[in-house]
Structure 1
Amino acid sequence: MRLALDSISKKVGAQTWLHEMRLALHSGAVTVLLGATQAGKTSLMRIMAGLDPPTAGRVTVDGVDVTGMPVRERNVAMVYQQFINYPSMKVAANIASPLKLRGEKNIEARVRELASRLHIEMLLERYPSELSGGQQQRVALARALAKGAPLMLLDEPLVNLDYKLREELREELSPLFAAGQSTVVYATTEPGEALLLGGYTAVLDEGRLLQYGPTADVFHAPDSLRVARAFSDPPMNLVAASATAQGVRLQGGAELALPLPQDMAATAELTMGVRASALRVQARPGDVGVAGVVELSEISGSDTFVHACTPWGGLVAQLTGVHYFELGTAITLHLDPAQAYVFGADGRLAWAPARQGRR
């Protein structure tokens, strides 16, 4: 199934919720809608599903215009943030409901197969009210998979779960989607989920589609500062810089040798972007170092996040492992210049690691 949005937009009163955009989903693949809250993800999904019409433009499925077709006439499965299950039905009946509507055979075997894949086979005789939040969301996912719809929409389905449950389900989603035939659209605010799911990513910000492409390509070569901010967690470190004949000069006088585009003026205002994971406390050959003072150190899972005040400005380093730093102590952070991003005065990408030229 190939769903395409042709110059669609959405206005509500005087507000523009979605600016004009074109987007053609890759059939049978996962497309992640990545953006902050109110970026337009849910509005876009509702138009894809047929729950809301666009103000302008059209929606096509396999080349057929379905813009005015109501959701009840489309074969779409949706999973929301809330745990939406039939409270009067046991888990087995919840999962079986779309199978019964289609008049399928061997329903019991199919239900057990889906329950096994989602590790809820021991819950089939319970009611939703007897389940935890994570178990209820697994039931909702199983029912959506049972529907076998050519288009499956998931609107931040893990956001209301605790950290441990989110991590468990995230790891299970990719093989679940790969085992089906559906075109999957998955909305999230978290870059880590987009990277884990792979496929394709559409980055949204304030109702605008900023970039769409294979997830790895969008992550490694963001078109603009706006995309880089949206696709970095923690946010990408941004440092004021200027162009030189050899590369870029940073605040504090440090210089990085980078082969910038030849048409970039020698004194042009630039912004250098550095992902937190690219900063280290141990120097390697060719690194550029910057001395600073520790302002905050926090341990999250198996990583340590160090916030430091430096001549380049405030920096956040993501260090693998558990490390302890006293507040106010001196620290030197090191960067391989080849891992730096450079954005022009217009915010467009001028240099990315292992990639050259403007996008």
Structure 2
Amino acid sequence: MQLTLEAISKKVGVQSWLYDMSIAPRSGAVTVLLGATQAGKTSLMRIMAGLDVPSAGRVLVDGQNVVGVPVRERNVAMVYQQFINYPSLRVRDNIASPLKLRGEKGIDQRVRELAEKLHIEMFLDRYPSELSGGQQQRVALARALAKGAPLMLLDEPLVNLDYKLREELREELSALFAAGSSTVIYATTEPGEALLLGGYTAVMDAGELLQYGPTAEVFHKPKSLRVARAFSDPPMNLLGASVGAGGVQLDGGPLLAMGLPATASHQLTVGMRASALRVSAGEGDVSLPGKVELAEISGSDTFVHVVTPVGELVAQLTGVHYFDLGASVTLYFNPAQVYVFDARGMLLLSPVRGGGR
């Protein structure tokens, strides 16, 4: 199934919820809608599903305009962040409900297969109220997969789960989506989730579609500062700079030797992902001395906030590291691993691939 949205927009009263945008998610693949809360992800998905009608534009399914066709007449499966199941039905009957509606055979076997994939086979005879939140969301996912719809919409389905459950389910979902043939639209606020799911990513902000393409390409080559901000966790370090003799001059810092387009504006912004900063020097690195303002351990990484002459920077270090507050530390980075944006916030240069997250 090929879903295509042509020049759609959405207004509610005088307020624009979605600005003019066009997108054709890759058929049979995962497309992640990535953006902060109120970026427009849910509004876009509701139009895709047929729950809402766009104020302008067309929604095409295999070339046919389906604007105005209600959701009950479309073959769409949906999973929300809330755990929506039939409370009066046992887990096995929740999962089986779309199969029974289609009058399929071998329902018991199919239900067990899906339950085993999502590790809920031991709960088949329980009611949803007897399950934890994570288990209930697995039931909702199993029912959506049982429907076998060519279009599957998942609106932040893991947001209400704890960190450990989210990590576990993300990996399982990646495998399940890869094994299926549905076009999957998955909304999230988390850049890490988009990277893990892979496929394609559409970055949204304040009702605008900023960039769409293969996830790795969008991550490594964000076309603007707005995309870079949306697709960075922790936030990208942004530094004021200008065109210098033979490179980019950081405000209050060193000159970075790099070639710039002849059309580059004088005022620039340099972006560095936190993982591009290190506390040990490598070949060709530039150094920035500073003092530790904060150090925090998160999972298997350590985030160090350092005040430097060019501003406060956050470094993401692999492993557990300990720093005394106020201690002197030198950060290192390679100029080949920085982003450069022009005065309009559009990308001029991106890092050489392989320079980390």
Report the TM range for the smaller structure's normalisation: over 0.9
Hey, what does 1:108 align to over in structure 2? 108
Counterpart contact for 2:120–2:135, Cα < 8 Å: yes
Say yes or no: does 1:97 pair with 2:121: no
Alpha-carbon deviations, 1:224-243, whole Å to 9, x = none? 00000000000000000001
Q: Describe how 1:138-149 pairs up with structure 2 within 5 A.
A: 138-149=138-149
> 2 CA distance for matches of 1:229 and 1:264?
21
Hey, what does 1:338 align to over in structure 2? 336
Structure 1's unaligned 5+ residue stretches are none
Say yes or no: does 1:135 pair with 2:135: yes
RMSD of aligned Cα (Å): 0.8
Hey, what does 2:312 align to over in structure 1? 314
Letter in 2 for 1:272: V
Hey, what does 2:117 align to over in structure 1? 117
Worse overlay, 242-251 or 305-314 = 242-251
Say yes or no: does 1:161 pair with 2:155: no
Q: Percent same amino acid at aligned positions?
A: 76
Alpha-carbon deviations, 1:254-276, whole Å to 9, x = none? 011111112225xx000000000
> 1 CA distance for matches of 2:186 and 2:64?
23
Say yes or no: does 1:225 pair with 2:225: yes
Hey, what does 1:272 align to over in structure 2? 270
> 1 CA distance for matches of 2:126 and 2:212?
42
Alpha-carbon deviations, 1:12-61, whole Å to 9, x = none? 01110000000011100000000000000000000000000000111000
Alpha-carbon deviations, 1:134-168, whole Å to 9, x = none? 00000000000000000000000000000100010
Counterpart contact for 2:33–2:185, Cα < 8 Å: yes
Letter in 2 for 1:108: D
Hey, what does 2:178 align to over in structure 1? 178
Hey, what does 1:348 align to over in structure 2? 346
Hey, what does 2:298 align to over in structure 1? 300
SS in 2 for 1:161: coil
SS in 2 for 1:194: helix
> 1 CA distance for matches of 2:61 and 2:68?
12
Hey, what does 1:325 align to over in structure 2? 323
Structure 2's unaligned 5+ residue stretches are none
SS in 2 for 1:213: strand
SS in 2 for 1:350: strand
Q: CA deviation at 1:354?
A: 2.6
Q: CA deviation at 1:201?
A: 0.3
Hey, what does 1:191 align to over in structure 2? 191
Q: CA deviation at 1:96?
A: 0.2
Q: CA deviation at 1:297?
A: 0.5
> 2 CA distance for matches of 1:222 and 1:253?
25
> TM-score, length-normalised on structure 2?
0.98
> 2 CA distance for matches of 1:254 and 1:240?
12
> 1 CA distance for matches of 2:11 and 2:292?
46
> 1 CA distance for matches of 2:8 and 2:204?
14
Hey, what does 1:4 align to over in structure 2? 4
> 1 CA distance for matches of 2:71 and 2:252?
58
SS in 2 for 1:193: helix
Hey, what does 2:281 align to over in structure 1? 283
SS in 1 for 2:135: helix
> 2 CA distance for matches of 1:65 and 1:35?
27
SS in 2 for 1:212: strand
Q: Describe how 1:55-70 pairs up with structure 2 within 5 A.
A: 55-70=55-70
Q: CA deviation at 1:245?
A: 3.4
SS in 1 for 2:296: strand
> 2 CA distance for matches of 1:258 and 1:112?
58
> 2 CA distance for matches of 1:85 and 1:258?
56
Q: CA deviation at 1:181?
A: 1.1
Q: CA deviation at 1:252?
A: 2.0
Q: CA deviation at 1:287?
A: 0.3
Aligned residue pairs total 353
Moved segments of 4+, more than 3 Å: none
Letter in 2 for 1:313: G
Say yes or no: does 1:43 pair with 2:29: no
Q: CA deviation at 1:313?
A: 0.5
Letter in 1 for 2:298: S
Counterpart contact for 2:253–2:310, Cα < 8 Å: no
SS in 1 for 2:141: helix
> 1 CA distance for matches of 2:149 and 2:294?
48
Q: CA deviation at 1:253?
A: 3.4
Counterpart contact for 2:26–2:183, Cα < 8 Å: yes
> TM-score, length-normalised on structure 1?
0.97
Hey, what does 1:23 align to over in structure 2? 23
SS in 2 for 1:327: coil
> 1 CA distance for matches of 2:11 and 2:245?
47
Q: Describe how 1:235-254 pairs up with structure 2 within 5 A.
A: 235-254=235-254
Counterpart contact for 2:50–2:71, Cα < 8 Å: yes
